[in-house]
Amino acid sequence: MADTADTRTPAEIEADIRRRRAVLAETLDEIGVRVHPKTIVDDAKARVVSHVDHTVGRAYVGVNAALSEVKARFVDEDGSPRMERVVPAAVLLVGVVGLLALGSRRRRS
């Protein structure tokens, strides 16, 4: 380290000390903010929200793809329903609902 103490005036030394104190105070304030419990909790919340948003986004994309695939099976490219697939699916759905209704009625009796 160079010996600059001989060439600096007392006023320059005091100014340097004040500058270094200001920088140190700023650094300590920043550390205080980073380790404050509220900051830690807020950072953790932000990470959780980000993870949930990412997971929900991926789930949305997956569900959207599945629904698009199902729709493609029951609707033509021009938007008209494919009756050869809609009618059997509707009959199956009515049958399942009917069986559930009968089962519910028998349990009540």
Q: What is the pLDDT of residues 28-59, one digit of tens each?
A: 999 999 999 999 999 999 999 999 999 999 99
Please indicate, yes or no, if residue 61 is contained in any of the structural domains: yes
pLDDT tens-place string over residues 50-94:
999 999 999 999 999 999 998 888 898 888 888 998 899 899 999
Do 70 and 101 lie in a common domain? Answer: no
Q: Which run of H or of E encompasses 66? A: helix 37-74
pLDDT value for 77: 84
CA torsion through residues 80, 84, 85, 89, sign: positive
Helix, strand, coil percentages in the chain from 3-state DSSP, rounded to 5: 85, 0, 15
Rounded to whole angstroms, the maximal C-alpha distance in the chain is: 106
Answer yes or no: do 69 and 91 share one domain: no
- Are 45 and 16 contained in the same domain? yes
My answer on whether 61 and 88 are in the same domain is no
16 or 3: which leads in pLDDT: 16
Q: What's the confidence (pLDDT) of residue 3?
A: 57
